[in-house]
């Protein structure tokens, strides 16, 4: 499935310019906060996609890395360490955790890996909640500036998508996809499933750990155990599936869709957007596994046929099916 | 009684059955022989409804089977003894047999059917409370066959019942099948152990690479060059 | 010594409840191989059904079981028909993964539906006899906990009888062991799946009623109970019905021991850690299983 990114270089440049130049055009703080939320989700979803989408391992412990990244950074930063060191530390600790649990975790296959990682994330969630139940306050509130935080998220988003993209085109990435398609078959080709899974986990953890670190920088006051909550796994997973797993643009679409839907329904009482999202998620898993990306490709095919320009490459497969 | 017309079927996107047509008359013992991988088991699975053909028709006593669910096909009167028996090892012999009579019409006659099975396979009566998993290979096969006739089928299909059995067990099994046929059950038998099978059968089909390449009276097929070379040499 | 004994007894009483919570999940998984991680949310709905029966209609929580179970049976049947029946078309490995994902989407939907309609308030049931307790050898045995133990055991035995003696029960067991052979017996696999799923959900409802009696309920409790059910299932052996009560007891006692020797805040953590250890060291629990 190499034809997964429909973004041409021109569009990428436009997007980059837009991302960087945005605060110059938009002055409303609430809009910028909204964009930051989208970026946060893009990062958490794209990072999950590396292990979950490209390597095919359903990791339900994503929140553990997000949480540990945010916890590390917040504790260091609030206690006087320079921000950049604290920020990087968040990512590093997340990777260390990933390496630590990678060895036992990858002994588990498929469904067991999923529930095992879920249990692990819950252990961290509950333990942190027990040890550090208090709210963390930002002592330097007067000097809080939104723009640096925006650029931190924007930069991290670009880095994340960049890493995901180059990984997908690299030999390692190819190995990951082979593992997804069939672990035993991959092994017989000399591809070490364990090595590739571990790399995917480490990269995924690093990126979402940094996202957690940015989160710690961004929020003024929050409960330290909050980033360990299950929603920080569930939401990115759903977004990625809805957008399209194993694609670069899928998580991005999913994130935008998620926040967009939430905003659209914000005048309704209750968490309707999650209900609708959940239903959409189920529909996609059952009937449209490639997500919105696949839906778009199907629409494109229909449109192209209407305009009389047939693409010759896909016909061979069609004629074999009776 | 059973008629297959131009059946084409795929197994994981590869065509496994090519334009197969065959028929089985009431009261006959028809055997389907062929090398490993020819598609014999696939064909039985198609008749039983576990696999759907891509095209073609299957008629059984006036019922079209191509689109039917497996359990409905059993209700119509076809019963299969699958490859290696597939008995329920965590259940007793009796429970296995009772499950064979699951369809409603068979449930009412469960006790008579049990008597019939015990008569053909006295060993099963001795072992009726034993866990099926503790039976020997030959006994398991007997159980599988007994279980299959509990539903009172008109057509009994067997998929390589002699596989992995000791010669004595094979002989016993053949005798039992003959007896069942004499009681009025039509038999469609898939085998690799060609010689003995062809002696017993009224008619035979030769299946190779998913196609019927030969048909004839049991003993006639022995003259087919390929059969001799492959199996009797 | 007294306190330890009290603790142990509590662990056993609670363990029986845990066993019941897992029973439905174990049944469903054994037959269909669906890992319904929305199980906790179904337990939650059972709890709410019991609660509303009590607070709106004054029905004693121990008497509303039939209503709760019937309601949840229907819910399970609908969920199977509308959602899960679409997963059977997938190949085995994909099927297991996709049912996990679907169940997880379902848990999000159910949790938020509950938040929407029941509000986030914690609910509890209190009747006149709730604080009554027997005291045996200095150990306090609250009557509701004893009743819960009895009910859990009764359901376990009833399920076993159903599975062993009735034709449908045997069909379910046959399908669990080998669904193809079962369909060759004339067993309608879809019907078996439907009934197993609905029955498993009804059992979740019963467990939920016990939960609402012994604890408070709120819309976000689902995940915690799903985890407990998973832990019990893995401890007792996947798909092993009698094993679930043993698995439940092990979890109950582990939690109590943790509460006694370490800190009661770590009860859940201990269970989860045990779960991870068992998963990693042996995927078939202490009793092995008949995995398909």
pLDDT tens per residue across span C55-99: 888 888 888 899 999 999 999 999 999 999 998 888 777 888 899
Average pLDDT, chain C: 88
Closest CA to C226 of A51, A128, A201, A60: A60
Distance from CA of C9 to the nearest CA of A (A): 25
**Which residues of chain B are within 8 Å of residue A317 when distances are taken between CB atoms?**
none
* Nearest beta carbon to residue C83 from set A269, A275, A282: A282
Q: What is the pLDDT of residues C27-38, one digit of tens each?
A: 999 898 888 999
Sign of CA dihedral C113, C116, C120, C123: negative
Closest CA to A12 of A153, A151, A158, A122: A158
* Nearest beta carbon to residue A286 from set C87, C227, C283: C87
CB B18 within 8 A of CB B8: yes
Sign of CA dihedral B71, B73, B77, B80: negative
Tokens for B214, please give them. 């030969």
Residue C110: is its pLDDT beyond 80? yes
CB B205 within 8 A of CB B22: yes
Q: Mean pLDDT across the stretch B55-84?
A: 90
Sign of CA dihedral B174, B175, B179, B180: negative
| pLDDT band (50, 70, 90) for residue A109 | confident
**Residue reference for tokens 């004054």:** C58
What residue in B sits closest to A322 (Cα-Cα)?
B54
Q: Which residues contact C40 (CB under 8 A, 6 or more apart)?
A: C107, C221, C222, C223, C224, C225, C226, C227, C228, C229
| pLDDT band (50, 70, 90) for residue A26 | confident
**Residue reference for tokens 């689902």:** C222
H helix runs in A109-145, sequence order: 110-131
Q: For strands B78-81 and B155-159, give the pairing.
A: parallel
Residue A110 or A222, more confident: A222
Closest CA to B15 of A190, C188, C162, A320: A320
ipTM: 0.87
pLDDT score of B225: 55
* Nearest beta carbon to residue C227 from set A119, A270, A278: A119
Neighbours of chain C (3+ CB pairs under 8 A): A, B
Residue B78 pairs in a beta bridge with: B155
* Nearest beta carbon to residue B50 from set C167, C183, C186: C183
**Is C183 in Cβ contact with B90 (below 8 Å)?**
no
pLDDT score of A215: 94
pLDDT score of B229: 58
* Greatest distance between any 2 Cα atoms in chain A: 70
Strand, coil or helix: A135: strand
Sign of CA dihedral A131, A134, A135, A137: negative
Q: Is B19 on the interface with C (CB under 8 A)?
A: no
CB C209 within 8 A of CB C50: yes
Q: Which residues contact B205 (CB under 8 A, 6 or more apart)?
A: B22, B30, B31, B32, B33, B212, B214, B215
Element containing residue A176 per DSSP (H, E): helix A171-181
Residue A270: is its pLDDT beyond 60? no
Question: Residues of chain B with pLDDT > 90: what percent?
Answer: 20
Lowest mean pLDDT among A273-277, A312-316, C251-255: A312-316
Burial of A25 (0-12, 13-18, 19+ CB in 10 A): exposed
CA distances from C16 to A85, B213, C136, C251 (A): 50, 64, 19, 10
pLDDT score of A268: 61
**Max avg pLDDT among A127-131, A209-213, B88-92, B178-182:** A209-213
Backbone angles phi, psi at B146, to 5 degrees: -55, -45
CB A193 within 8 A of CB A94: no
Q: What is the pLDDT of residues B148-176, one digit of tens each?
A: 999 989 999 999 888 888 888 888 888 89
**Which residues of chain C are within 8 Å of residue A104 when distances are taken between CB atoms?**
276, 280
Lowest mean pLDDT among A123-137, A149-163, B35-49, B183-197: B183-197
**Which residues of chain A are within 8 Å of residue C269 when distances are taken between CB atoms?**
123, 126-127, 130
Residues 259-278 of C with CB under 8 A from A: 263, 265-266, 268-269, 272-273, 275-276
Strand, coil or helix: C141: strand
Residues 132-151 of B with CB under 8 A from C: 147-148, 151
Element containing residue A261 per DSSP (H, E): helix A249-264
Burial of C271 (0-12, 13-18, 19+ CB in 10 A): buried
CB C202 within 8 A of CB C72: yes
Q: Mean pLDDT across the stretch A56-78?
A: 93
Sign of CA dihedral C217, C218, C223, C226: positive
Q: Mean pLDDT across the stretch A231-245?
A: 93
Q: Where are the beta strands (DSSP E) in A97-233?
A: 135-136, 222-223
**Is C275 in Cβ contact with A119 (below 8 Å)?**
yes
Residue C205: is its pLDDT beyond 70? yes
**Which residues of chain A are within 8 Å of residue B8 when distances are taken between CB atoms?**
322
Residues 184-243 of C with CB under 8 A from B: 184-190
Q: Mean pLDDT across the stretch C227-244?
A: 89
Q: How many of the other CB atoms lie within 10 Å of CB of A154?
A: 18
**Is B13 in Cβ contact with A322 (below 8 Å)?**
no
What pTM was estimated for this model as a whole?
0.86
CA distances from A64 to A93, A130, A207, A227 (A): 11, 15, 13, 8
Strand, coil or helix: A307: coil
pLDDT score of A322: 40
pLDDT score of C283: 52
Backbone angles phi, psi at A209, to 5 degrees: -65, -40
Average pLDDT, chain A: 87
Residue B198: is its pLDDT beyond 90? no
Element containing residue A88 per DSSP (H, E): helix A83-105
pLDDT score of A2: 43
**Which residues of chain B are within 8 Å of residue C167 when distances are taken between CB atoms?**
102, 107
Q: Mean pLDDT across the stretch A166-188?
A: 90
Residue A176: is its pLDDT beyond 50? yes
What residue in B sits closest to A318 (Cα-Cα)?
B13
Cα B123 to Cα A263: distance, rounded to the nearest angstrom = 73
Distance from CA of B219 to the nearest CA of C (A): 31
Cα A111 to Cα C143: distance, rounded to the nearest angstrom = 39
Residue A311: is its pLDDT beyond 60? no
CB A78 within 8 A of CB A71: no
Cα B121 to Cα A8: distance, rounded to the nearest angstrom = 73
Lowest mean pLDDT among A302-306, A318-322, B160-164: A318-322
| pLDDT band (50, 70, 90) for residue C126 | confident
Cα A266 to Cα A262: distance, rounded to the nearest angstrom = 6
Cα C208 to Cα C20: distance, rounded to the nearest angstrom = 9
Residues in chain C: 292
* Nearest beta carbon to residue C116 from set A115, A241, A270: A270
* Nearest beta carbon to residue C180 from set B74, B86, B107: B86
pLDDT score of B200: 80
* A298-314 exposure pattern, b = at least 16 Cβ within 10 A, e = fewer: eeeeeeeeeeeeeeeee
pLDDT score of C285: 45
The side-by-side arrangement of strands in the sheet containing B55-60 is B14-24, B2-11, B55-60, B63-64
Q: For strands C133-136 and B55-60, give the pairing.
A: unpaired
| pLDDT band (50, 70, 90) for residue A220 | confident
For residue A50, give the DSSP letter: I
Residue A3: is its pLDDT beyond 50? no
Q: What is the pLDDT of residues B70-129, one digit of tens each?
A: 989 999 999 999 988 888 988 999 999 999 888 878 888 888 889 999 999 988 888 888
Residue A315: is its pLDDT beyond 80? no
**Is C108 in Cβ contact with A277 (below 8 Å)?**
yes
Cα A168 to Cα A188: distance, rounded to the nearest angstrom = 21
**Is C269 in Cβ contact with A127 (below 8 Å)?**
yes
Question: Residues of chain B with pLDDT > 70: what percent?
Answer: 92
3-state secondary structure chain B: CEEEEEEEEEECCEEEEEEEEEEECCCCEEEEECCCCCCHHHHHHHHHCCCCCCEEEEEECCEECCCCCHHHHHHHCEEEECCCCCCCCCCEHHHHHHHHCCCHHHHHCHHHHHHHHHHHCHHHHHCCCCEHHHCCHHHHHHHHHHHHHCCCCCEEEEECCCCCCCHHHHHHHHHHHHHHHHCCCEEEEEECCHHHHHHHCCEEEEEECCEEEEEEEHHHHCCCHHHHHHHHC
Q: How many of the other CB atoms lie within 10 Å of CB of B108?
A: 11
Q: Mean pLDDT across the stretch A192-215?
A: 94
Residue C5: is its pLDDT beyond 90? no
Lowest mean pLDDT among A228-237, A263-272, B17-26, C100-109: A263-272
Tokens for A17, please give them. 């310019």
Residues 215-234 of C with CB under 8 A from A: 223, 227, 230-231
What residue in B sits closest to C181 (Cα-Cα)?
B86
pLDDT score of A269: 56
Torsion of CA A65, A66, A71, A77, to 10 degrees: 120
Q: What share of chain A is helix, strand, coil (3-state, %, to 5)?
A: 75, 0, 20
Closest CA to A236 of A207, A216, A264: A207
């Amino acid at each position: 499935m190499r034809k997964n990114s429909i973004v041409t270089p021109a569009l990428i440049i436009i997007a980059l310019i837009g991302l960087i130049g945005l605060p110059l055009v938009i002055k409303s703080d609430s809009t910028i906060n909204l964009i930051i939320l989208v970026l946060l989700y893009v990062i958490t979803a794209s990072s999950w996609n590396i292990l979950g989408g490209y390597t095919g391992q359903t990791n339900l412990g994503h929140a553990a890395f997000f949480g540990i990244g945010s916890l590390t950074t917040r504790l260091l930063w609030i206690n006087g360490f320079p921000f950049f060191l604290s920020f990087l530390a968040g990512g590093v600790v997340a990777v260390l955790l990933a390496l630590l649990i990678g060895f036992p975790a990858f002994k588990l296959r498929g469904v067991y890996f999923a529930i095992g990682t879920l249990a692990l994330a819950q252990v961290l969630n509950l333990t942190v909640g027990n040890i550090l139940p208090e709210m963390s306050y930002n002592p330097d509130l007067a000097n809080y500036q939104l723009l640096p935080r925006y650029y931190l998220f924007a930069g991290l988003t670009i880095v994340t998508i960049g890493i995901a993209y180059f990984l997908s085109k690299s030999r390692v990435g190819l190995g990951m996809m082979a593992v997804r398609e069939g672990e035993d078959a991959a092994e017989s080709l000399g591809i070490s499933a364990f090595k590739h899974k571990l790399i995917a986990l480490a990269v995924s953890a690093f990126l979402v750990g940094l996202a957690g670190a940015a989160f710690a920088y961004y929020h003024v006051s929050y409960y330290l155990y909050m980033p360990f909550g299950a929603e920080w796994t569930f939401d990115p997973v759903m977004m990625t599936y809805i957008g399209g797993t194993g694609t670069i643009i899928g998580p991005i679409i999913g994130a935008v869709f998620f926040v967009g839907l939430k905003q659209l329904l914000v005048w309704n009482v209750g968490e309707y957007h999650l209900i609708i999202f959940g239903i959409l998620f189920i529909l996609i898993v059952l009937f449209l596994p490639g997500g919105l990306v696949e839906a778009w490709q199907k629409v494109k095919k229909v449109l192209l046929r209407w305009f009389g320009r047939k693409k010759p490459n896909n016909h061979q497969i069609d004629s074999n099916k009776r | 009684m059973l008629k297959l017309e131009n059946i084409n079927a795929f197994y994981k996107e590869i065509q496994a059955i090519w334009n197969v047509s065959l028929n089985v008359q009431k009261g006959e013992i028809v055997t389907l022989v062929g090398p490993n991988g020819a598609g014999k088991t696939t064909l039985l699975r198609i008749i039983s409804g576990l696999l759907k053909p891509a095209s073609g028709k299957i008629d059984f006593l006036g019922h079209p089977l191509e689109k039917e669910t497996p359990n409905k096909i059993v209700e119509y009167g076809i019963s299969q003894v699958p490859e290696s028996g597939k008995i329920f090892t965590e259940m007793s012999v009796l429970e296995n047999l009772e499950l064979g009579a699951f369809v409603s019409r068979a449930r009412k006659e469960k006790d008579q059917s049990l008597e019939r099975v015990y008569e053909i396979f006295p060993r099963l009566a001795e072992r009726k409370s034993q866990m099926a998993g503790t039976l020997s290979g030959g006994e398991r096969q007997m159980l599988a066959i007994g279980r299959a006739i509990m539903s009172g089928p008109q057509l009994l299909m067997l998929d390589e019942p002699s596989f992995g059995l000791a010669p004595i067990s094979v002989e016993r099994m053949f005798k039992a099948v003959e007896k069942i046929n004499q009681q009025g059950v039509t038999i469609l038998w898939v085998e690799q152990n060609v010689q003995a099978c062809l002696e017993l059968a009224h008619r035979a089909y030769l299946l190779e690479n998913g196609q019927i390449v030969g048909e004839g009276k049991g003993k006639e097929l022995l003259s087919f060059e390929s059969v001799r070379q492959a199996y009797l040499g | 010594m007294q306190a330890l004994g009290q603790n142990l007894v509590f662990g056993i009483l609670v363990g029986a409840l845990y066993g019941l919570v897992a029973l439905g999940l174990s049944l469903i998984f054994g037959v269909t191989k669906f890992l319904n991680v929305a199980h906790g949310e179904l337990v939650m709905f059972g709890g709410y059904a019991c609660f509303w029966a009590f607070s709106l209609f004054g029905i004693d929580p121990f008497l509303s079981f039939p209503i709760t179970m019937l309601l949840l049976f229907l819910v399970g049947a609908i969920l199977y028909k509308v959602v899960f029946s679409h997963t059977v078309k997938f190949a085995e490995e994909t099927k297991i993964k996709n049912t996990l994902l679907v169940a997880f989407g379902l848990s999000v939907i159910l949790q938020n539906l509950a938040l929407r309609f029941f509000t986030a308030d914690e609910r509890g049931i209190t009747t006149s006899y709730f604080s009554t307790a027997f005291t045996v050898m200095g150990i306090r045995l609250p009557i509701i906990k004893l009743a819960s133990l009895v009910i859990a055991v009764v359901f376990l035995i009833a399920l076993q009888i159903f599975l062993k003696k009735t034709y449908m029960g045997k069909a379910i067991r046959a399908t669990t062991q080998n669904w193809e052979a079962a369909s060759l017996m004339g067993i309608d696999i879809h019907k078996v799946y439907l009934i197993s799923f609905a029955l498993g959900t009804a059992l979740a409802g019963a467990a939920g009623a016990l939960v609402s009696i012994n604890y408070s309920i709120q819309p976000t409790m689902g995940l915690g109970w799903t985890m407990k059910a998973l832990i019990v299932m893995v401890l007792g052996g996947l798909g092993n019905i009698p094993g679930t009560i043993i698995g439940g007891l092990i979890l109950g006692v582990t939690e109590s021991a943790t509460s006694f020797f370490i800190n009661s805040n770590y009860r859940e953590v201990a269970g989860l850690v045990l779960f991870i250890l068992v998963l990693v060291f042996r995927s078939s629990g202490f009793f092995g299983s008949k995995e398909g």
